[in-house]
Structures are given as structure tokens and as C-alpha cells.
């Protein structure tokens, strides 16, 4: 079972594409894309256990800090660069987005929607939100750059990224009515303008 945002990401990736998956975790997405789309590529991952899991899946993985890890890759090497559920934990969001489009033609990011209605309810009740998408307490969270879809779109415009596709997911399915409140996860595909 693929995570809901990964299903959406896979749907946007054409067969035989060369993929870079930043923060690839246990290599689930890359293994899936290899087995179903005949894709090839690399994952970048920092955690020892995840690197081992990738090797067990026969996924090519490079152990590095994401922000440094992009230096391994020459310009225009990939069709698509994926950053799933990681953007919100990056120190330098702008640099990462720019780097994604240096090494790849398309970028795909997914991130938890901080504007999800349950999060708003938590805030109204006086607490930082804790949900399946952002399951951390405020004092031990890796998430330092949470945002909403509209926030991301503003940044994308400022960085000159052209958004080609967007999926706002609630319970794993795209929603189109009150989507900024109903969606718990946002997924964007973008390219150079």
C-alpha cells in the first residue's frame, strides 16, 4: 500500500523516467516506480535504517544530508525530482526548490496542509495541531516550515516555478470543494518557467 501522496506522485510520472527522490525513506516510491513504470534513478536519504531498507529493496541510495546531497547531481540529469513530505522540514526551502529544477526538468513536492480544518480546530482550541500528517508535538517536531497550498503557490510564483499540476488530497482523494480546508495533504508538480 503506497502512501496517498505517493500514489498521486506516481500518477504524474511517465514510464521510463529518470527520478531523483529526495528524502526517499525506505525507497518505497522508487521501488514502485521501477516495478510499475520502469523508472530508474536515485534516492537521497540521511537515516541509516532507511539507507539499509533501500539497499534491501535494491533501490540506489546515496546517504547524505538533503541540502548537501543535491551536489552529487549534474544539471538536467533527471526527468523528475521528488520531495515528498520533506519540504516542511528543510532549512532552506527556496534553495532546495531551485536545486530541484537545476537537476531535473520537473519537480514534485508534497507537504501537509497546515490549513487543514482539523488543524484550525486545534488552534481555535488553543493547541498546536497534531494529526496523522504532522504527528509531532510542538517541542520535538522536525517541521520548521509548515505552510498552506496558497503559501506554497506564492513562493512558487516568486521563484519563477510554473505549477503544472496540483492535487489537494483528503482521505487520499483529490478534493475540489473547500479544498484548502478539507485537504490534509498538498501535492504539486512544477517546472521551470
Partner 1 sequence: MSTSAAPGTASVGIVSPQRMHFAQPLILASGAALREYDLSYETYGTLNAERSNAVLICHALNASHHVAGVYADKPRSAGWWDNMVGPGKPIDTRRFFVIGVNNPGSCFGSTGPMSPDPASGRPYGASFPVVTVEDWVNAQARLVDALGITRLAAVVGGSLGGMQALAWATQFPQRLRACVAIATTPKLSAQNIAFNDVARTAIQSDPDFHGGDYYAHGVVPRRGLSVARMIGHITYLSGEDMTERFGRSLRSEEYAFGYGAEFEVESYLRYQGDKFAEYFDANTYLLITRALDYFDPARAHEGDLVRALAPAQARFLLVAFTTDWRFAPARTREIVSALVANGRDVSYAEIDAPHGHDAFLLDDARYHQLVGAYFVRLAEELG
Q: Please count the residues of this chain forming the interface with partner 1, following the rule CB under 8 A.
A: 19
Provide, rounded to whole angstroms, the least separation between the CB of residue 19 and partner 1: 13
Provide, rounded to whole angstroms, the least separation between the CB of residue 49 and partner 1: 9
Q: Name which of 63 and 131 has its Cβ closer to partner 1.
A: 63
Q: Name which of 72 and 138 has its Cβ closer to partner 1.
A: 72
Q: Name which of 56 and 192 has its Cβ closer to partner 1.
A: 56
Q: Name which of 29 and 161 has its Cβ closer to partner 1.
A: 29
185-192 and 40-45 strand pairing = unpaired
Q: Residues 37 to 76: which contact partner 1 by CB under 8 A?
A: 40, 42, 48, 51-52, 54-56, 58, 60-64, 71-74
Vertex 36 angle, CA 132 and 38, to 5°: 125
CA–CA separation, 7 and 64 (whole Å): 25
Please, which residues have CB within 8 angstroms of residue 1's CB and are 6 or more apart in sequence? none
Q: Name which of 24 and 147 has its Cβ closer to partner 1.
A: 24
Question: Residues 93, 177, 134, 111: is their CA dihedral positive or negative?
Answer: negative
79 binds partner 1 (CB under 8 A): no
Specify whether the CB–CB gap between 42 and 105 falls below 8 A. Answer: no
CA–CA separation, 102 and 163 (whole Å): 16
Interface residue list for partner 1 (CB under 8 A): 40, 42, 48, 51-52, 54-56, 58, 60-64, 71-74, 77
Amino acid at each position: 500500500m503506497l502512501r496517498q501522496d505517493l500514489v498521486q506522485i506516481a500518477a504524474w510520472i511517465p514510464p521510463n523516467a529518470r527520478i531523483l527522490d529526495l528524502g526517499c525513506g525506505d525507497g518505497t516510491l522508487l521501488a514502485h516506480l521501477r516495478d510499475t513504470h520502469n523508472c530508474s534513478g536515485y534516492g537521497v536519504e540521511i537515516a541509516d535504517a532507511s539507507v539499509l531498507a533501500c539497499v534491501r529493496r535494491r533501490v540506489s541510495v546515496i546517504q547524505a544530508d538533503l541540502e548537501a546531497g543535491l551536489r552529487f547531481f549534474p544539471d538536467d540529469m533527471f526527468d523528475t525530482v521528488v520531495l515528498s513530505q520533506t519540504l516542511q522540514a528543510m532549512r532552506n526551502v527556496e534553495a532546495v526548490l531551485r536545486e530541484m529544477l537545476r537537476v531535473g526538468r520537473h519537480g514534485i513536492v508534497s507537504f501537509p496542509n497546515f490549513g487543514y480544518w482539523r488543524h484550525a480546530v486545534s488552534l481555535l482550541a488553543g493547541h498546536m495541531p497534531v494529526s496523522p500528517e504532522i504527528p509531532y508535538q510542538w517541542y520535538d517536531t522536525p517541521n520548521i516550515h509548515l505552510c498552506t497550498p496558497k503559501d506554497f503557490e506564492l513562493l512558487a510564483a516568486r521563484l519563477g516555478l510554473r505549477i503544472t499540476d496540483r492535487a489537494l488530497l483528503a482521505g487520499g482523494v483529490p478534493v475540489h470543494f473547500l479544498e484548502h480546508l478539507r485537504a490534509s495533504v498538498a501535492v504539486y508538480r512544477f517546472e521551470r518557467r
